[in-house]
């Protein structure tokens, strides 16, 4: 929004022509420098629906603030200054006070949206949490999902409500003394509704590859707009929505050989532009790169902390004895790994990783304070690895295809079958003890479920379980067929299968 209307800009360096479309009206955009096209018009205002027309083809705005009709629908103009904030005195919470409650909006409340979450914030506060961490909310395809396949990184999912509904949720958290974090994904876009390859193929590069295909181009000759897209996104959530921190998902899948790399540049931009309140940046980083967690005068220079997978994995192996997949790295001496993680942060600080073919993993972290690490017993990844064997085969990491179980519900490899059977036998379904019976729905030897060309795994249950544990049993349980149950106040709620 500008004083004389709405300013539209699109980066399409290979396009011959670009226009903006409102219904039947198409307005040509002017070519600017470095692949940009721009137009300022008073023929649009808040609520207007629009698309960009690139060389004759119409697409939603990749930087849309709102996608009311989903990933394939028209974008909507949003006035970012229209919301009237009332909790302007909020200055955040110090990192030493943070106790995170990870929250999936779709399953947290009866209505599964921003407004519904507000009704249960007192419950979170009473548990002792001091901060809420929302799993990704960027617009994603379909009606249910984790959010890790988002395609419009600036648009809060229309499944959860309007942009102003999200601002009300943030404000309601602050009113209760709760800080609010957002899980953001900067390593890939979801496959459905991602029109960037058609609009700006230079957004991606074949020099690097990720589990999702071609990597985002953060270090090529045309990478400046790509880097700015992510940096501005981080600032957008922190400034426009008032979030207190971000969790950056799986940054080990971000490839960038430039200096400074995109992570460092993003963190420095946030630190330099927001200095009137507490802001926390947290990493998920399988590489254990301690360099990003360095301190200056006792304060984080770039990133505040990292989720400490080493601590979780070592403790898990110590308690369960599981040793497949990446747990093999901790199987020989789980107590030693746990002790080192508690004392020094990372258990792997450059030592060879058996799971990674003997490649060194990690950097020295003993000089870092304990506050540079988020210690946890459970998170969304851990919960689904152990509660959804049909989708998370225990012999493989997430999205791996070394075992056919993840594709059709049948473990054909003997080691896979044994490991899965062992895991399933340890689980208790929300319906009761049926999971221990070899002839039950929970059995790893169950005949393959019906599949479809577009859903090559068993379809998750859409209805809550009819029975469940007592009110005192408030813990995550799961059934055989990719349905985890969120237990709250005696009500079992269905959590759909993985989308991330």
Annotated active-site positions, please?
249, 284
Per-residue pLDDT band for 386 (boundaries 50, 70, 90) equals low
Is the dihedral angle over the CA atoms 494, 496, 498, 500 positive or is it negative? negative
pLDDT average, residue stretch 234-253: 98
pLDDT average, residue stretch 163-181: 98
Whole-number pLDDT of residue 314: 98
What are the sequence ranges of the domains in the chain? 6-59, 95-380
Is residue 431 classed as helix, strand or coil in its secondary structure?
coil
- Does domain 6-59 match CATH 2.60.40.10? yes
Per DSSP, what are the bridge partners of residue 156?
138
Same fold, 6-59 and 95-380: no
Q: Could you report the per-residue pLDDT of 401-423, keeping only the tens digit for each?
A: 333 323 333 333 444 444 433 33
Q: Could you report the per-residue pLDDT of 438-485, keeping only the tens digit for each?
A: 333 333 333 343 333 333 333 333 333 333 333 333 222 222 222 222
Report the greatest alpha carbon distance in the chain. Answer: 69
Whole-number pLDDT of residue 25: 95
Whole-number pLDDT of residue 443: 32
Among 198, 291, 281, residue whose Cα is nearest residue 243: 281
Q: Is the model more confident about 299 or about 415?
A: 299
pLDDT average, residue stretch 60-72: 98
Per-residue pLDDT band for 5 (boundaries 50, 70, 90) equals very high
Cα(35)–Cα(14) distance, integer angstroms: 7
pLDDT average, residue stretch 325-337: 97
- Record the pTM: 0.79
Per-residue pLDDT band for 360 (boundaries 50, 70, 90) equals very high
Domain at 95-380: CATH code: 3.20.20.80
Q: Could you report the per-residue pLDDT of 481-499, keeping only the tens digit for each?
A: 222 222 222 233 332 332 3
Q: Could you report the per-residue pLDDT of 310-329, keeping only the tens digit for each?
A: 999 999 999 999 999 999 99
Whole-number pLDDT of residue 108: 97
Q: Is the model more confident about 393 or about 197?
A: 197
Whole-number pLDDT of residue 395: 33
When the pLDDT of each residue in the chain is averaged and rounded to a whole number, the result is 82
| Least confident interval from 45-59, 354-368, 453-467 | 453-467
Cα(223)–Cα(62) distance, integer angstroms: 16
| Least confident interval from 55-59, 216-220, 494-498 | 494-498
Tokens of 111: 């209505």
Burial of 383 (0-12, 13-18, 19+ CB in 10 A): middle
Burial of 476 (0-12, 13-18, 19+ CB in 10 A): middle
Per-residue pLDDT band for 387 (boundaries 50, 70, 90) equals low
Cβ count within 10 A of residue 28: 12
Whole-number pLDDT of residue 3: 86
| DSSP letter assigned to residue 244 | S
């Amino acid at each position: 929004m500008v004083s004389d209307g709405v300013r539209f800009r699109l980066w399409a360096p290979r396009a011959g022509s670009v226009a903006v479309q409102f219904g039947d009206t198409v307005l040509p955009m002017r070519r600017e420098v470095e692949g940009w096209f721009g137009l300022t018009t008073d023929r649009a205002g808040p609520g207007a629906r629009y698309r960009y027309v690139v060389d004759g083809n119409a697409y939603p705005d990749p930087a849309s603030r709102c996608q009311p009709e989903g990933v394939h629908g028209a974008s909507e103009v949003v006035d970012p200054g229209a919301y009237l904030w009332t909790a302007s005195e909020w200055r955040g919470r110090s990192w030493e006070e943070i106790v995170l409650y990870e929250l999936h909006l779709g399953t947290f409340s009866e209505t599964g949206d921003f407004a519904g979450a507000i009704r249960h914030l007192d419950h979170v506060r009473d548990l002792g949490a001091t901060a809420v961490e929302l799993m990704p909310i960027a617009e994603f395809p379909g009606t249910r999902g984790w959010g890790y396949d988002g395609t419009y990184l600036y648009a809060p999912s229309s499944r959860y409500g309007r942009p102003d509904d999200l601002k009300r949720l943030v404000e309601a958290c602050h009113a209760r003394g709760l800080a609010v974090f957002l899980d953001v994904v900067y390593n890939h876009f979801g496959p459905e509704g991602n029109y960037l390859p058609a609009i700006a193929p230079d957004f991606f590069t074949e020099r690097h590859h990720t589990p999702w295909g071609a990597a985002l181009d953060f270090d090529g000759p045309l990478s400046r707009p790509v880097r700015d897209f992510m940096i501005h996104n981080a600032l957008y959530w922190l400034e426009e929505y008032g979030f207190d921190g971000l969790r950056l998902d799986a940054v080990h899948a971000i490839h960038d050989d430039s200096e400074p790399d995109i992570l460092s540049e993003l963190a420095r931009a946030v630190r330099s532009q927001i200095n009137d309140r507490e802001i926390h940046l947290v990493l998920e980083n399988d590489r254990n790169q301690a360099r990003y967690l360095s301190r200056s005068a006792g304060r984080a220079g770039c990133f505040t902390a990292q989720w400490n997978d080493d601590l979780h994995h070592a403790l898990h192996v110590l308690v369960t004895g599981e040793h497949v997949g990446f747990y093999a790295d901790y199987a020989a001496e789980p107590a030693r790994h746990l002790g080192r993680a508690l004392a020094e942060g990372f258990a792997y600080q450059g030592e060879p990783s058996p799971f990674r073919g003997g490649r060194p993993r990690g950097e020295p972290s003993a000089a870092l304070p304990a506050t540079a690490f988020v210690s946890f017993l459970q998170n969304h990844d851990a919960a689904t690895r152990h509660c959804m064997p049909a989708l998370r085969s225990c012999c493989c990491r997430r999205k791996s295809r070394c075992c056919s179980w993840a594709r059709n519900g049948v473990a054909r490899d003997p080691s896979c079958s044994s490991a899965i059977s062992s895991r399933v036998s340890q689980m208790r379904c929300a319906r009761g003890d049926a999971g221990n019976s070899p002839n039950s729905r929970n059995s790893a030897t169950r005949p393959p479920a019906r599949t479809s060309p577009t859903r090559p795994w068993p379809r998750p249950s859409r209805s809550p379980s009819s029975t469940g544990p007592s009110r005192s049993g408030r813990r995550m349980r799961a059934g055989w067929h990719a349905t985890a149950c969120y237990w709250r106040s005696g009500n079992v709620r269905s959590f759909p299968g993985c989308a991330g």
